[in-house]
Structure 1
């Protein structure tokens, strides 16, 4: 290759091109890759590939504000938190759903170097949380899928380079809401067999084992979310005379406190581990308590659905939806609007320790 610059300049140009072509890691990116685990709050389409699952969003009116105004499998009128976090860390697009990469229609069967999403609507920390929805990818199975991606990465880059790549990548885990819903749903068998405290303790211990396993497969930088004020979502208000289910909220807070304590100990046990615990509860509580600060005017009702608070029938094609999605916190009976998801990610990415501890997400990825 002819070059009119100095040899050193040529070298850096070549090196930059090599990084982009071979590793997909440009200057705009703050992390080489993002791997997403969790539930419908961050599912970008995995459940589209589950034949019998009832937890799907691959139909209108979902995606009404997404590019092309088409449903993608996101439980949102547009982008979700995974999409906005991907933008914050400089990725060109949100990591694609794992099942789309191993589907029969995808002949290449290759995994992108910039990350993969394993999140699945209906998934919980416990296996079986998805029984209400017939089918989902349990968190333990999500980690098994990641192990396949890990092996592929080692083959592609070599062990040492793969470990270096993963040590700088972001591992996002958004899980737990479905477990809490399962415990507090009417007639729950689980609630008859165990106390709320035992249940929460078991959630934290089970998640700890999952995080340890991810560490075994190269994870070092984690974004871990707590559970939000699940008792205040439209589905719970609809069952509680339009008011929040304070018992569900109480145990969500107790779970969050136990999770924070567990993460502090885990960081001491796992070599090289670093994390940002994201306080979903605190952020969304502020949305509900001082909505005008964020441009919201509707805090109780869903935007898309039917019946009381539009929470008696989910967001399905026969449902009606609001014309101004930006002033609603909730898109459907469980999930936030695109606007709420964007403000949430903005808050925890650069926020103070009121919203993310021991550091915010930006501090985590630059450490």
Structure 2
């Protein structure tokens, strides 16, 4: 009997180990971006007011506590990590003082920061967030640590199999199209979008030079349809100008990334058409189980978008039926659905290949 127990113990141990190894599809994910992917970096910026570490954020997260995610629960970065069999990424700024950070870096880390933009200062002039340029600087430190830990050859093998997710651009565009923007006096919308795309191109090349070979580029959504933009119209309709230039930005990014992969033959990518997916949800809400496509779940005022999600704000009970959690950000369910499509969706919304296909390369 003891022999049989011993046998079954090792049999199930072997099964569990095998399942664990097969479930982990990539060695690491490195996340760059804004509040759509921030897992708590802004919590560690002392002077920043751009935080979500208070109720009612996190009401559906494990333990029901706010973590710094701009969501009622998990965000897209969390769901992507889970999809590929990894633990949820740690925020980089939470690791600076720990002694064993090298082992954490090997499985990836998040640099994403609420309020971050492609351009330094434009989306956040008071330094309350980590710009994409600064995020890449932080990653260069992580890169050096990994090379020192593994050696240059093994480090490149490790990084070439890892995913590098970039979720950026929304804050730059929202800053340009907000009602009191001063940016319009400096450039036309076309000039501004061209500057964003050109700057992002250089930033992606910097990440490539630091070992990235598999990019997951998340396009901006239909930002004119977020509650904060809708309340600028008396009708509550989407801001079509903001949507138009969001679309133009995405087209520019796709062209740039295609050019990079033509120039640098050893890089591959997935581009997620967030814009198209969000509009599909808005136009066909019942198909996706949504009943509220205009108003934020958490906030105050018209469309719950006059006041952000604060402890004094009210919040909805039917959160799974809302696209928007607050006046800018999606609900946990919407984020989960985004990642389902990103991971193994068709070329209608993920091209030239989805993340599952990207991993297999």
> Shorter chain as normaliser: what TM range?
over 0.9
* The one of 209, 221, 242 aligned to 1:216: 209
In structure 1, the partner of 2:302 is: 308
* The one of 120, 129, 133 aligned to 1:136: 129
Number of residue pairs the alignment of both structures matches: 346
How far apart, in 1, do the equivalents of 2:99 and 2:156 lie? 27
TM-score by length of structure 2 reads: 0.93
How far apart, in 2, do the equivalents of 1:107 and 1:62 lie? 30
In structure 1, the partner of 2:290 is: 296
* The one of 320, 325, 329 aligned to 2:319: 325
In structure 2, the partner of 1:52 is: 47
How far apart, in 2, do the equivalents of 1:357 and 1:43 lie? 24
In structure 2, the partner of 1:172 is: 165
Deviation, 1:119, is 0.2
Name the CA shift for 1:253/1:90 in 2 (closer, same or farther; >3 Å): same
In structure 2, the partner of 1:340 is: 334
Deviations 1:174-227 (A, max 9, x none): 000000001111232211110111111111110000100011100000000111
Deviations 1:303-341 (A, max 9, x none): 000111000000011101001110000000000000000
Deviations 1:102-139 (A, max 9, x none): 04xx3444451110000000001100134366510000
* The one of 178, 189, 212 aligned to 1:185: 178
Conserved? CA contact 2:261–2:268, under 8 Å? yes
* The one of 274, 280, 285 aligned to 2:279: 285
Deviation, 1:26, is 2.7
* The one of 79, 83, 87 aligned to 2:78: 83
In structure 2, the partner of 1:34 is: 29
Deviations 1:224-258 (A, max 9, x none): 01110000000001111211000000000011111
Conserved? CA contact 2:38–2:110, under 8 Å? yes
How far apart, in 1, do the equivalents of 2:115 and 2:85 lie? 28
How far apart, in 2, do the equivalents of 1:51 and 1:141 lie? 17
How far apart, in 2, do the equivalents of 1:90 and 1:149 lie? 21
How far apart, in 2, do the equivalents of 1:147 and 1:50 lie? 20
Conserved? CA contact 1:130–1:136, under 8 Å? no
Large movers: runs of 4+ above 6 Å: none
How far apart, in 2, do the equivalents of 1:82 and 1:97 lie? 11
In structure 2, the partner of 1:125 is: 118
How far apart, in 2, do the equivalents of 1:200 and 1:212 lie? 19
TM-score by length of structure 1 reads: 0.91
Deviation, 1:270, is 1.7
What's the secondary structure of 2:111's corresponding residue? Answer: coil
How far apart, in 2, do the equivalents of 1:174 and 1:88 lie? 17
In structure 2, the partner of 1:66 is: 61
Conserved? CA contact 2:117–2:124, under 8 Å? no
How far apart, in 1, do the equivalents of 2:143 and 2:102 lie? 12
In structure 1, the partner of 2:149 is: 156
What's the secondary structure of 1:223's corresponding residue? Answer: strand
Deviation, 1:90, is 1.0
Alignment of 1:255-274 (within 5 A): 255-274=249-268
Task: List alignment gaps of at least 5 residues for structure 1.
Answer: 1-12
What's the secondary structure of 1:30's corresponding residue? Answer: coil
Task: List alignment gaps of at least 5 residues for structure 2.
Answer: 1-12
